[in-house]
């Protein structure tokens, strides 16, 4: 059955089709009849630039064909993910293969890895995602349907608060499992041969470089307005021309990495969903965690996930007081898991792991610098416009079709241009213009959380000598 391309296309027959397919995995005789349903957006305007996320709640009769008296009413709470209607974002997603990766993670990869760790480690290192319901990916169709785990009590930690020590420790425990299980699996099954879409690609860094450049320009504007950080300003200004080269050397040159495995790629606060419970004494404890949003997953250096989490989702105080403990906890879980599965990693004691983490610290700083600006700024929320509404009415449908085709052609041209080295200056100027409102917000100082977190990250990087590396 043809899949809808947006929430507006969801129909009763399609819902019955996907739910019947889902239930038939457990009992081939199952038939699902939808009784009622509600559809509403899962995100606020500006929260998601690369997808349309929908909450789909369904009440249905589930029974066996030819046995009406055996049917029972059941409720399904689902998240439906479509590609964004913005042509530029859609073209970028397709160019990088983000949509294929996420569907593969839910439909095949996690199941395969969990079966492997269950066999080789007795199920000690499970990888937890929302349950996969249905998915389809072709040249013209894309939809991913998964369990809505919010109704089960899972929630994300507020991004403006960041993670405390206990939540960060649980997060690195889970990412250590992913790294260890995928590493062990690859030793006997060749992960990339089975799942080639996760092959490392420079496409991510190619688009990330101008974002780094523009975010760095915002930092310089911000620090100049303070008039007390001229030494840092000079270091950042000297490093602007060499930054793309240094970033690429650390990110793209996989021959320099100690070893590789499956990485999440977007491992930060808003992609971690925790479930809490209360003890008899009334104390709230973390019961479980599920990881979401796997579009940027790829075969890469595992320390990048740790950099991403620490620099985007924790405070300077937490990193200063607990970073060492968090890293040791990660390393312990990783070593225990790989040993348990019969694939110990040679020359990877804690000191060697820490040396690799420090070698790539520039990447961690740059990731944090960009994501803090993009996620904590109010201006950043306004950058993701839903597009013009002048052609949304039924009477304008013919016009809309023409406009959409023009937008799609233009998007293909722009994205193609973005990945050409000769276009780097144009891309830098364009993205700088898009992100400049964030720089203005930093100067105005009205967003204390944004200003505080970014300034802490800059000061920490300077204290550790990371900014000196930029200016060399």
* Residue 45 reports pLDDT greater than 60: no
* Residue 448 reports pLDDT greater than 60: yes
Mean predicted confidence (pLDDT) in 215-227: 93
**pLDDT computed for residue 208 by the predictor:** 80
- On whether the CB atoms of residues 275 and 288 are closer than 8 A, the answer is yes
CA distance 417 to 421: 9
What is the chain's mean pLDDT, rounded?
87
- Determine phi and psi for 393, rounding to 5 degrees: -75, 155
CA distance 142 to 215: 32
Q: Write the DSSP symbol of residue 206.
A: H
CA distance 82 to 61: 26
CA distance 281 to 81: 40
The pLDDT > 90 percentage for the chain reads 67
* Residue 84 reports pLDDT greater than 70: yes
Mean pLDDT is lowest, of 94-108, 179-193, 225-239, 405-419, for 405-419
The domain ranges of the chain are 1-85, 157-381+416-471
Higher-pLDDT residue of 90, 262: 262
**pLDDT computed for residue 417 by the predictor:** 58
> Domain 157-381+416-471 is of which CATH architecture?
Alpha-Beta Complex (3.90)
Mean predicted confidence (pLDDT) in 299-319: 96
Mean predicted confidence (pLDDT) in 27-35: 93
* Residue 89 reports pLDDT greater than 90: no
Mean pLDDT is lowest, of 86-100, 105-119, 168-182, 260-274, for 86-100
């Amino acid at each position: 059955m043809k899949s809808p391309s947006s929430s507006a296309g969801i129909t009763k027959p399609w819902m019955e089709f996907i739910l019947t397919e889902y239930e038939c995995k457990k009992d081939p005789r199952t038939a699902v009849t939808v009784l009622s349903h509600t559809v509403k957006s899962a995100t606020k305007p500006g929260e998601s630039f690369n997808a349309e996320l929908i909450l789909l709640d369904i009440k249905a009769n589930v029974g066996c064909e030819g046995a009406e008296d055996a049917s029972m009413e059941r409720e399904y709470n689902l998240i439906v993910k479509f590609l964004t209607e913005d042509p530029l974002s859609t073209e970028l997603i397709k160019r990088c293969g983000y949509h294929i990766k996420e569907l593969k993670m839910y439909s095949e990869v996690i199941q395969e890895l969990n079966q492997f760790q269950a066999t080789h480690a007795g199920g000690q290192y499970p990888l937890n995602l929302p349950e996969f319901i249905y998915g389809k990916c072709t040249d013209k169709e894309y939809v991913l349907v998964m369990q809505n785990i919010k109704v089960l009590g899972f929630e994300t930690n507020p991004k403006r608060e960041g993670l405390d020590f206990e939540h960060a420790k649980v997060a690195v425990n889970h990412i250590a499992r992913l790294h260890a299980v995928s590493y062990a699996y690859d030793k006997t099954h060749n992960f990339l041969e089975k799942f080639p879409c996760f092959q490392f690609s420079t496409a991510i860094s190619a688009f990330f470089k101008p974002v780094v450049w523009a975010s760095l320009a915002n930092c310089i504007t911000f620090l100049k307005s303070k008039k007390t950080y001229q030494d840092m300003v000079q270091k950042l200004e000297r490093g602007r021309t060499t930054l793309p080269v240094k970033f690429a050397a650390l990110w793209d040159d996989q021959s320099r990495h100690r070893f590789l495995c499956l990485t999440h790629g977007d491992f930060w606060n808003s992609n971690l969903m925790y479930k809490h419970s209360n003890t008899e004494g009334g104390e709230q404890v973390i019961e479980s965690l599920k990881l979401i949003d796997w579009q940027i997953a790829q075969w890469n250096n595992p320390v990048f996930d740790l950099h991403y989490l620490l620099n985007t989702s924790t405070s300077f105080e937490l990193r200063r007081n607990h970073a060492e403990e968090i890293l040791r906890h990660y390393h312990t879980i990783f070593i225990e898991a790989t040993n348990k599965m019969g694939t110990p990693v040679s020359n990877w004691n804690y000191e060697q792991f820490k040396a690799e983490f420090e070698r790539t610290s520039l990447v961690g700083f740059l990731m944090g610098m960009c994501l803090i600006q993009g996620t904590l700024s109010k201006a950043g929320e306004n950058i993701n416009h839903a597009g013009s509404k002048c052609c949304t009415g039924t009477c304008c449908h013919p016009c809309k079709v023409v406009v959409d085709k023009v937008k799609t052609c233009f998007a293909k041209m722009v994205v193609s241009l973005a990945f050409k080295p000769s276009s780097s200056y144009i891309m830098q100027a364009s993205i700088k213009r898009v992100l400049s409102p964030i720089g203005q917000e930093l100067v105005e100082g009205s967003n204390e959380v944004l200003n505080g977190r970014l300034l802490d990250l800059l000061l920490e990087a300077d204290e550790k000598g990371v900014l000196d590396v930029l200016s060399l």
